[in-house]
Structure 1
Amino acid sequence: MLPHAYDSAAAGEATGQIRRVLVVDDSQMQRRILCAMLRQWGFEVWQADSGEAALRLCADLLPDAVLSDWMMPGMDGLDFCRRFRALQRDSYGYFILLTSKSDKGEIARGLDAGADDFLTKPVDAGELRARINAGARILAMQRQLSDTLGELRAAYDAVDRDLRQARTIQQALVPQRSRVFGTSRVSLLLKPCGHVGGDLVGMFSHCDRKLGLYSLDVSGHGITSALMTARIAGYLGGDFPDQNIALDRILQGTLFRPPEDVAQRLNARLSADPGVVEYLTMAYAVADLQTGRVDLVQAGHPPPLLLRADGSTEFVGRGGLPIGLIPQARYDRLSLWLKPGDRLLLYSDGITEATLRDGTLLDQDGLRMLARTCQGEGTEYLDDLFWRLTEATRHGARLEDDISAALLEFAPDQRR
Structure 2
Amino acid sequence: MSIKAQNSLSDEKSPLILVVDDSITMRNFLTRVLEDDYQVVTASDGHECIDKYKEISPSVILLDLLMPVMDGFDVIDKIRNELGDPEVIIIVLTGQDEQEIKAKALNAGANDYLTKPFHVVELKARVGVAIRQVMLTRQLQSANSKLQKAYDIIDDEVRLVARLQDKLLPTKVPVIDGLEIKSLYRPSGRASGDYFDVFDLEDGVIRVVMADVSGHGPQAAFIMAIVRTLFKADGSEAHDLSHSLFQINTHLVDLIGEDSYFVTLFAADIDFNTGVMKYLSAGHCPALIMQDGVMGEPLRAHVPPLGFFPVDSTLDERHFNTSLELFLFTDGCYEWRMGDDFFTLEAFMDIAGKLMRNESLKLDAIEDMLEKETGVRPVFDDDVTALSISWKKDV
When the two structures are superposed, what TM-score results if normalisation uses the length of structure 2?
Answer: 0.83
Tell me what 1:240 maps to: none
Tell me what 1:354 maps to: 336
Are the counterparts in 2 of residues 212 and 287 from structure 1 also a CA contact under 8 Å? yes
Tell me what 1:6 maps to: 4
Q: Distance in 2 between matches of 1:106 and 1:314?
A: 80
Change (3 A) 1:18 1:201: same
Structure 1 residue 71 displacement after superposition: 5.2
Q: Distance in 1 between matches of 2:129 and 2:222?
A: 50
Structure 1 residues 12-91: aligned runs within 5 Å: 16-23=13-20, 25=21, 30-31=26-27, 33-35=29-31, 37-38=33-34, 43-50=39-46, 54-55=49-50, 57-70=52-65, 77-78=72-73, 80-86=75-81, 88=83
* Equivalent of 1:333 in 282, 301, 315: 315
Q: Distance in 1 between matches of 2:68 and 2:6?
A: 34
Structure 1 residue 292 displacement after superposition: 3.1
Structure 1 residue 373 displacement after superposition: 5.1
Q: Distance in 2 between matches of 1:75 and 1:396?
A: 58
When the two structures are superposed, what TM-score results if normalisation uses the length of structure 1?
Answer: 0.79
Change (3 A) 1:275 1:264: closer
Are the counterparts in 1 of residues 267 and 281 from structure 2 also a CA contact under 8 Å? yes
Matched, 1:263 2:245: yes
Matched, 1:383 2:364: yes
Structure 1 residues 238-277: aligned runs within 5 Å: 243-244=233-234, 246=235, 254=238, 257-259=240-242, 261-273=243-255, 275=257, 277=259
Structure 1 residue 334 displacement after superposition: 2.9
Comparing 222-231 with 89-98, which one deviates more in the overlay? Answer: 89-98
Q: Distance in 2 between matches of 1:276 and 1:289?
A: 40
Matched, 1:144 2:139: yes
Change (3 A) 1:377 1:18: farther
Residue 410 of structure 1: SS of its match in structure 2? Answer: strand
Are the counterparts in 1 of residues 370 and 376 from structure 2 also a CA contact under 8 Å? no
Structure 1 residue 283 displacement after superposition: 0.8
Tell me what 1:167 maps to: 162
* Equivalent of 2:303 in 296, 317, 320: 320
Q: Distance in 2 between matches of 1:293 and 1:236?
A: 20
Q: Distance in 2 between matches of 1:175 and 1:272?
A: 27
Structure 1 residue 196 displacement after superposition: 0.6
Change (3 A) 1:109 1:154: same
Q: Distance in 2 between matches of 1:139 and 1:273?
A: 50
* Equivalent of 1:123 in 118, 124, 128: 118
Are the counterparts in 1 of residues 368 and 377 from structure 2 also a CA contact under 8 Å? no
Change (3 A) 1:20 1:70: closer
Q: Distance in 2 between matches of 1:363 and 1:108?
A: 60
How many residues are paired up?
Answer: 392
Tell me what 1:135 maps to: 130
Structure 1 residue 59 displacement after superposition: 4.5
Comparing 312-321 with 214-223, which one deviates more in the overlay? Answer: 312-321
Structure 1 residues 274-293: aligned runs within 5 Å: 275=257, 277=259, 278-293=261-276
* Counterpart residue identity of residue 19, structure 1: L
* Counterpart residue identity of residue 6, structure 1: K
> Once the two structures are aligned, what percentage of the paired residues are identical?
25
Are the counterparts in 1 of residues 209 and 268 from structure 2 also a CA contact under 8 Å? yes
* Counterpart residue identity of residue 272, structure 1: D
* Equivalent of 1:197 in 189, 192, 195: 192
Residue 324 of structure 1: SS of its match in structure 2? Answer: coil
Are the counterparts in 2 of residues 211 and 288 from structure 1 also a CA contact under 8 Å? yes
Structure 1 residue 366 displacement after superposition: 2.8
Comparing 189-198 with 171-180, which one deviates more in the overlay? Answer: 171-180
Tell me what 1:407 maps to: 388
Q: Distance in 1 between matches of 2:337 and 2:39?
A: 61
Structure 1 residue 231 displacement after superposition: 0.6
Structure 1 residue 225 displacement after superposition: 0.9
Change (3 A) 1:18 1:387: farther
